[in-house]
A and B are shown apart, each in its own frame.
Chain A
Amino acid sequence: MSTKKNTNARRVDKVFRYFSLGITVFILLVLMVLIIDIFSRGIGRINWGFFSNLPSRKAENAGIMTAMAGMISLLFFTILISLPIGMLAGVYLQEYGKKNRFAKFIEINIANLAGVPSVIYGILGLTVFVRMFNMGNSLIAGAMTLALLIMPIIIVSTREAIRAVPDSLREASYGMGATKWQTTSRVVIPSAMGGILTGIILAISRAIGETAPLLVIGALVYVPFIPEGPRDQFTTLPIQIFNWTSRPQADFIINAAAGIIVLLLITFLLNGIAIYTRNLWYKKIRY
């Protein structure tokens, strides 16, 4: 009886192993096909001109200069707004806030916000920043919208990192007569910085790929100039790609593929930096 059961359990075990292996291989294959397809179409299009040219009606003259510039300025303002607010909120909620039911309620809501579809943030940005505050479809309106989008991620990862700092370090600091702020700023935050940085970089790479909320607030698809200030109109690389893929001419599809390669590389690079900083920090700080 027991031997029979045993063989059955082993069979299930085996089936499950091959099933999950098959699924993994399938997903990797799909990803490979996509990447190979994109690279084979677009890699030939990537040259210096592709980076330095303005957008153009002729596919072979079109470049991603303004899209890149717009994206970098957009990210700059997004980080400038979301980083201090998100980090301070995370520190407050974890270190200072009382752990009562209201705190729990806020915690759940922040976690939920991280899962709200990005287009909803776009509608919010359109209503509040673009229209109510009369910012128009400017860089700053876009940055504020994206800042709202990634703030929950920064808050949650800051909290997680701070929660991981052992209480024994806080006790050591208090035991020497340090105040709460001295303990938080000199011991807790530096110890948690690895985790906080990782969260921030992941939040940024999320912001980079966003198209929907920017389209909703009215980011332009054709911007023949580099934005010079926060009130200027702008476009970004994902929007440029989106625009190119909707053109009927085959050459623009090649441009889109090339743009996707650039975007992929930037995202890979950022994720690489995130992993690297995390490892570096954890090597320095083991507790």
Chain B
Amino acid sequence: MVKLEAKDANLWYGDKQALKNISISIEPNTVTAFIGPSGCGKSTLLRCFNRMNDLIENAKIQGDFLLDAENIYKDMDVYELRKKVGMVFQRPNPFPKSIFENVAYGLRIMGEKNKTVINDKVEQSLKNAALWDEVSSMLNKPSLSLSGGQQQRLCIARTLAIEPTVLLMDEPASALDPISTAKIEDLIYDLKKKFTIVIVTHNMQQAARISTKTAFFYLGELVEYDETKKIFTNPENERTENYVTGRFG
């Protein structure tokens, strides 16, 4: 079974080609790690799956992207797509609103008015993001009074509240300290049961710890895509081996 798929994907930012003929299929309820040196196209590919590249004016996209066998760019409404494919960004970016309102945001933009429904959903999402115990007594406090790690889990809770089936994470722990990073990794491990997760990371150990499969990108190409264990212990490609062993990149 395939949850997410890219077929012969090419992408240009102006004249610069950022993705070159990429085909990849991602299975449901797995964690897939995208690794590779900066500028290799891993974040770009990630952002194709919820059409965040639409916001960049000179981006040109070719090829097919499928979610549950439906064509993301041709057969789906972009707003519906983004509710199904949630995204967590590199730097925690909670809205300058209360903790409660951050999590309730998705429900409010979908037009949910019922207070009980919203309250329940906020609580459940915060619990799923392993943040409830820390914030349950201060839901009306500003989100920016939380620590960086808590803010990032708040952003995850905010995304979970719209009930996506896929979670895209763009280096979600790169701006956090090791303890907060460990919490996020535990959380990702738990979330795998319900969601399909794609994570971009620069941290090799992180990829090795949490992912089922790993894709190595280099200069816009998908060099190797396989079981994480295989990529890290016995890769087919020499460039992959050099990268994961820290000899370049």
- Could you tell me which A residues sit within 8 Å of B by CB distance? 166, 168-169, 171-179, 182, 186-187, 190-191, 284-287
Chain A residues with Cβ below 8 Å from B91 are 168
List B contacts of A286 (CB < 8 A): 96, 144
A176 touches B106 (CB 8 A): yes
Question: Between A and B, how many residue pairs show CB distances below 8 Å?
Answer: 70
State whether B142 touches A169 (Cβ < 8 A).
no
Contact A176 B93 (CB under 8 A): no
Q: How far is the CA of A286 from the CA of B162 in the complex (A)?
A: 26
Question: Could you tell me if A168 and B89 are in contact, using CB atoms closer than 8 angstroms?
Answer: yes
Among the stretches B21-29, B77-85, B124-132, the one at the interface with A is B77-85
Whether B144 contacts A287 by the Cβ 8 Å rule is yes
Question: For residue A169, which residues in chain B have a CB less than 8 angstroms away from its CB?
Answer: 93, 95-96
Residue B149, interface by CB 8 Å:
no
How many residues of B sit at the interface, in one of the four size bands?
20 to 34
Tell me if B144 and A172 are in contact (CB < 8 A): no
Q: Which residues on the B side are within 8 Å of A287 (C-beta)?
A: 96, 144
What is the interface of chain B, defined by CB distance below 8 A to chain A?
A: 50, 52, 55, 79-83, 86-87, 89, 91, 93-97, 105-106, 108-110, 142, 144, 155, 158-159, 162
B55 touches A172 (CB 8 A): no
Provided the pairs A174-B55, A177-B80, A182-B109 are in contact, do residues A284 and B159 lie with their beta carbons within 8 angstroms?
Answer: no
A196 to chain B, nearest CB (A): 14
A168 touches B158 (CB 8 A): no
Q: Report B-chain residues with C-beta under 8 Å of the C-beta of A284.
A: 96, 142
Across the interface, do B109 and A177 meet the contact criterion of CB distance under 8 Å? yes
From known contacts A186-B109, A286-B144, A287-B144, infer whether A175 and B96 are also in contact, taking CB-CB under 8 Å.
no
B109 touches A178 (CB 8 A): yes
Task: Please state if A171 and B162 are interface contacts (CB–CB under 8 Å).
Answer: no
CA–CA, A191 and B142, complex, Å = 13
- Structural contact, A176 and B158, CB atoms closer than 8 A: yes
